[in-house]
C-alpha cells in the first residue's frame, strides 16, 4: 500500500533516509539453501557507491552491507534476510539552506503536500541513496538466478544526445569487461570516451544531463510472466519507472516498433534445435516476451533518465510560505545519474525475474 515493497514472492521492503542512521532492506520469500557471498553483494554496492570517479558525487560512503538475519552458515534459511547499510558521511548541514525551500523538479514540494512533514536532509526518503538497498537485494537475486544460468547486463547506451551503437557482443562476460573499462559504464569504448568528456564539461558548467540505459537478460526460461496485468514487461516497466529520475521505458522494438508494419515486425518462429519446446524466432522485435510471457529469446529493454535536478547554479524557486526565493545546489551531486544507475537497473531486473521465476513454479505444468 505505502509502496516500499516490491515483488510478490521474492518480496523486498526497503527503509531509510539519506541522512538518517541507516538504510536497509528485508527480503521476504527468499528460497532456502542459496549460498550468499557477502563479497559479491559488496562488489555490487561498490558499482553504485558515490565517490567512485570524477563524474559522480563526491559524497563518501563505504556502503557496507551487513546481513542481520536469514542466513545460517553461509546459506539462506527461507526466513527473512535483512541487510543494513549504515549512513556515514551525513553532512546534514549542507541541507539547512533547503529546509524551507522547494528545489525545482525535486520531490520537496510533493512530499510536503502529501505528508505535511519531510526530512529535508539530502532529500530524505526521496534520495537515490535508498537504491543501495535495492542493489543489495538485487545481488541476492542475482545469486539465485545464477543457479538457473540467467544473466543480466545493463550499460549506458546514451548520454544527452550521444548514443552508443548496438551492443558489440552478446557474451555477457565480454560486455561487462568492456563496460567496466570506463567510468561511464558504456560497453562501447569510443562512445564511452565521448560521454565522459561531455559529462565532465557539463559538471564544470554546474549543469547536469540525462541519459539512457539499455539492458539484456539471457537464458530466461519460456513461461515467465502472468499474461494479463502482471505481464513480464509490465513488471519490468514498473520496476524501472520506480527508479529515481526515470521518465521512459520500452522493450523489444519499443517506440520505434510503433512505426512499423506487421509484416516487418512479426518474429517468425523457427525450430533449429528440433525441439518443439525450444523454438526460436528469426528476429526479436518481441524483446523476448510474447503475450506478457517470456518466449526463451533474449529479453531487451531500454530506460530513459532525466537530467539530475540539483544544479550548482542559482535557480529561482518558492519557499514553504509561498514566497519567491533563490536556491543554489550545495552538497555533493552527480552531474549525470546513469553511470551509477546501471547497477540499479540490473538489480531491479534481477528482482523482477526472480519473482516471476518463483511464481511460475506454482503454475508450471508438470
CB 252 within 8 A of CB 289: yes
Residue labelled with grid coordinates 534476510? 81
In whole angstroms, how large is the CA radius of gyration of the chain?
21
- CA–CA separation, 115 and 333 (whole Å): 25
Which residue's CB is nearer to a second copy, number 193 or number 283?
283
Task: Give the nearest distance from C-beta 84 to a second copy in angstroms.
Answer: 8
Where is 345: in which H helix or E strand?
Answer: helix 338-363
Nearest to 203 by CA among 86, 77, 66, 312: 312
> CA–CA separation, 250 vs 304, rounded Å?
9
Tell whether residue 306 is among the known ligand binding residues. yes
Identity of the residue, 211 or 339, whose beta carbon is nearer to a second copy in the bound complex: 211
Nearest to 305 by CA among 330, 329, 340, 348: 340
d(CA 325, CA 101): 8
Least gap, CB of 301 to a second copy (angstroms): 9
Least separation in angstroms between CB 56 and a second copy: 15
Shortest separation between residue 23's beta carbon and a second copy, angstroms: 7
In the complex with a second copy, the residue whose CB is nearer, 174 or 319, is 319
Gap between the Cα atoms of 65 and 184, Å rounded: 24
Would you tell me how many other CB atoms lie within 10 Å of the CB of residue 2?
A: 5
In the complex, the smallest distance separating the C-beta of residue 236 from a second copy, rounded to whole angstroms, is: 8
- 54 is known to lie in a ligand binding site: yes
* Strand pairing report for 293-294 and 299-305: unpaired
Angle at the Cα of 307 (from 306 to 312), degrees rounded to 5? 160
Smaller CB distance to a second copy: residue 181 or 283? 283
Supply the minimum distance, in Å, between the C-beta of residue 343 and a second copy.
17
125 is in an annotated binding site: yes
277 is in an annotated binding site: no
Residue 307 marked as a ligand binder: yes
Residue number, 232 or 343, with CB nearest to a second copy: 232
Shortest CB 355 distance to a second copy, Å = 10
Q: Counting beta carbons within 10 angstroms of the beta carbon of residue 265, is it exposed (0 to 12), middle (13 to 18) or buried (19 or more)?
A: middle
237 labeled binding residue: no
Q: What is the helix (H) or strand (E) element at residue 302, kind and residue range?
A: strand 299-305
C-beta separation of 353 from 143 below 8 A: no
Residues linked to residue 225 through DSSP beta bridges, in sequence order: none
Write down the residue that cell numbers 528545489 correspond to: 103
User: Is 244 within any annotated ligand binding site?
Assistant: yes
**Is 45 or 243 the residue whose CB approaches a second copy more closely?**
243
Helix 338-363 × helix 131-146 angle, to 10°: 50
Q: Of 152 and 348, which has the nearer Cβ to a second copy?
A: 348
Distance in Å, CB of 39 to a second copy, minimum:
18
Q: Of the two residues 130 and 171, which places its CB atom closer to a second copy in the complex?
A: 130
Binding region for FMN: 125-127, 244-245, 291, 306-310, 332
Binding region for NADP(+): 48, 54
Binding region: 48, 54, 125-127, 244-245, 291, 306-310, 332
Amino acid at each position: 500500500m505505502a509502496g516500499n515493497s516490491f515483488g510478490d514472492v521474492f518480496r523486498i521492503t526497503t527503509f531509510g533516509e539519506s541522512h538518517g542512521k541507516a538504510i536497509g532492506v528485508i527480503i521476504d520469500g527468499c528460497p532456502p539453501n542459496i549460498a550468499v557471498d557477502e563479497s559479491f553483494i559488496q562488489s555490487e554496492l561498490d558499482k553504485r557507491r558515490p565517490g567512485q570517479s570524477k563524474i559522480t558525487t563526491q559524497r563518501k560512503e563505504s556502503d557496507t552491507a551487513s546481513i542481520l538475519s536469514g542466513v545460517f552458515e553461509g546459506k539462506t534459511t527461507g526466513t527473512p534476510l535483512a541487510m543494513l547499510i549504515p549512513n556515514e558521511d551525513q553532512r546534514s548541514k549542507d541541507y539547512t539552506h533547503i529546509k524551507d525551500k522547494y528545489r525545482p523538479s525535486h520531490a520537496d514540494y510533493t512530499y510536503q503536500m502529501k505528508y505535511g512533514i519531510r526530512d529535508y536532509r539530502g532529500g530524505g526518503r526521496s534520495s537515490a541513496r535508498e537504491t543501495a538497498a535495492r542493489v543489495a537485494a538485487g545481488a541476492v537475486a542475482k545469486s539465485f538466478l545464477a543457479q538457473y544460468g540467467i544473466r543480466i547486463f545493463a550499460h549506458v547506451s546514451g548520454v544527452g544526445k550521444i548514443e552508443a551503437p548496438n551492443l558489440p557482443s552478446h557474451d555477457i562476460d565480454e560486455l561487462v569487461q568492456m563496460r567496466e573499462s570506463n567510468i561511464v559504464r558504456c560497453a562501447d569504448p569510443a562512445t564511452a570516451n565521448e560521454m565522459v568528456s561531455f559529462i565532465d564539461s557539463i559538471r564544470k558548467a554546474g549543469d547536469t544531463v540525462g541519459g539512457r540505459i539499455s539492458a539484456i537478460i539471457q537464458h530466461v526460461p519460456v513461461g515467465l510472466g502472468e499474461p494479463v496485468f502482471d505481464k513480464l514487461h509490465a513488471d519490468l516497466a514498473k520496476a524501472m519507472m520506480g527508479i529515481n529520475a526515470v521518465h521512459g521505458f520500452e522493450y523489444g522494438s519499443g517506440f520505434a516498433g510503433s512505426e512499423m508494419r506487421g509484416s516487418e515486425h512479426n518474429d517468425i518462429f523457427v525450430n533449429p534445435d528440433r525441439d518443439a519446446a525450444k523454438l526460436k524466432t528469426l528476429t526479436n522485435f518481441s524483446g523476448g516476451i510474447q503475450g506478457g510471457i517470456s518466449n526463451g529469446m533474449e529479453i531487451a529493454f531500454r530506460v530513459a533518465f532525466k537530467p539530475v535536478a540539483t544544479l550548482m547554479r542559482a535557480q529561482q524557486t518558492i519557499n514553504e510560505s509561498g514566497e519567491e526565493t533563490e536556491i543554489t545546489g550545495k552538497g555533493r551531486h552527480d552531474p549525470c545519474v546513469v553511470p551509477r544507475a546501471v547497477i540499479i537497473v540490473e538489480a531491479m531486473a534481477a528482482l523482477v525475474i526472480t519473482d516471476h521465476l518463483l511464481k511460475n513454479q506454482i503454475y508450471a505444468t508438470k
